[in-house]
Amino acid sequence: MTEPFTEEQVPIDEVLGGDSLALVGEGGRRVLLFEVENKIISSVQQPDGSHRDTVIIESEPLQATGEPVRIEFPVEAVVTRLRRVK
């Protein structure tokens, strides 16, 4: 039996460790259900002197490789967070 859940659109900077995300590919197809283990905020200086801010989310290390899946988003990105219905 599967548990009911709701979807909510949230800014990537509101995502926390333990959150489950439904990541969407081109054409609106869901391509990955992703549980966030770590969130890293990064700011890199560009050649023109401006800064590019990003949020990197990581899964827990995969059994096959021992490495986490890492996905980088611009700070203004909106993602789909899944919540269990109680």
Q: Are the C-beta atoms of 43 and 53 separated by less than 8 Å?
A: yes
State pLDDT tens for residues 3-41: 788 899 999 999 999 999 988 776 666 667 889 999 999
For the chain, give the number of residues. 86
Residue 28 is predicted with a pLDDT of: 62
Say how far apart CA 42 and CA 75 lie, in whole Å.
Answer: 9
Instruction: Spell out a b/e string for 18-31, using b for 16 or more CB atoms within 10 Å of the CB, else e.
Output: ebebeeeeeeeeee
Residue 73: which of 37, 9, 23, 7 has the closest Cα?
23
Query: How many whole angstroms from its chain centre is CA 49?
Result: 27
Name the residue ranges covered by the structural domains of the chain: 5-84
State pLDDT tens for residues 45-58: 889 999 889 999 99
Residue 43 has pLDDT above 60, yes or no: yes
Domain covering 5-84: architecture: Roll (2.30)
